[in-house]
Amino acid sequence: MVTLTLEHLSAHYGRRQILSEITTPTFAGGQIVSLLGPNAAGKSTLFRRILGLLKGGGEVRIEGATSERPVAYMPQETGSSAVLTVYESVLLARMQGRSLKVQPEDLREVDRALEDLGIETLSKRDIGDLSGGQRQLVSAAQALVQAPEILLLDEPTSALDLHRQISLLSILRRLAREREMLVIASLHDIGHALRFTDQAMVLENGQLVACGTTEQVVTPELLRQVFQVDARIEPCSMGRPQLIVEAAV
């Protein structure tokens, strides 16, 4: 099973240091991890650093991967000016780094990604004509179709309606379990993190200020200190932890 460990990771843009000394426990496939933090905390930067798109000190340790390209990434910006259909754009994502010849398995993977995300009816539409939420789901399909062992998603629910937010997070959790895939998703909705993620990493000003099981990490104290809200966490009638935000402080 794949594992990911971050050790003393740093990252900078030019001379400006953004991340420093990020060290995590080992995350294993089969889990879904939320990456939390206020605006500008460094979440997208951390994804770029894990992907090797940014330089910096420390080590990104991936062990137990069975494929040559174990990591797929869904960026925060999902706009596209390409003149492609949804099907073509997902197939193109599938073929990145593979042989130029499309195999039957590649077509099956495209169908599977579109079905998993419930967007098969969009197959023939031009991606330039889609709504923001539809484009976001296509972007998720472009990442999933690569059959990653580690899937990094930068705010995957930001453009989705409530039904699709819950559906996508449920699907990601199911796929993480079924495929022993490690999913790391940055989320601004801490209620969603509590409900859907096994573990949480919290960034503030480029530093990791908390990391562990989501229920242990997300406390009223953390919400006040890092997110500057007065909030309570109480079990709902089903016994699940529920976030109740009182006010911004």
Ligand X SMILES: Nc1ncnc2c1ncn2[C@@H]1O[C@H](COP(=O)(O)OP(=O)(O)OP(=O)(O)O)[C@@H](O)[C@H]1O
Spatial separation of the C-alpha atoms in residues 27 and 44, rounded to whole Å = 18
Q: Which letter does DSSP use for residue 88 in this model?
A: H
Question: Measured on CA atoms in the order 184, 190, 196, 197, is the torsion positive or negative?
Answer: positive
Q: 75 or 133, CB closer to ligand X?
A: 75
Task: Count the residues of the shown chain that bind ligand X, applying the rule CB under 6 A.
Answer: 10
What's the closest the beta carbon of residue 218 comes to ligand X, in angstroms?
A: 17
Per CB under 6 A, contacts with ligand X among 200-239 are none
What's the closest the beta carbon of residue 188 comes to ligand X, in angstroms?
A: 7
What's the closest the beta carbon of residue 204 comes to ligand X, in angstroms?
A: 10
Answer whether 186's CB lies under 8 Å from 44's CB: yes
Answer whether 118's CB lies under 8 Å from 167's CB: yes
Q: 37 or 56, CB closer to ligand X?
A: 37
Q: Is 239 helix (H, G, I), strand (E, B) or coil?
A: coil
Q: Taking CB under 6 A as the rule, which mask of x and - marks residues 12-51 in contact with ligand X? A: -x----x------------------x-xxxxxxx------
Residue 197: HSE in the Cβ half-sphere, 13 Å Cα cutoff: 31
Q: Report which residue type is found at 95.
A: M
Q: 47 or 87, CB closer to ligand X?
A: 47
What's the closest the beta carbon of residue 187 comes to ligand X, in angstroms?
A: 10
Q: Tell whether residue 107 is a contact of ligand X (CB under 6 A).
A: no
Q: 38 or 118, CB closer to ligand X?
A: 38
Q: 20 or 89, CB closer to ligand X?
A: 20
Q: 39 or 131, CB closer to ligand X?
A: 39
What's the closest the beta carbon of residue 129 comes to ligand X, in angstroms?
A: 26
DSSP-derived secondary structure for 111-180 = HHHHHHTT-GGGTTSBGGGS-HHHHHHHHHHHHHTT--SEEEEESTTTT--HHHHHHHHHHHHHHHHHHT
**Degrees, nearest 5: CA angle 230-231-232:** 145
Which residues lie near ligand X (CB under 6 A)?
Answer: 13, 18, 37, 39-45
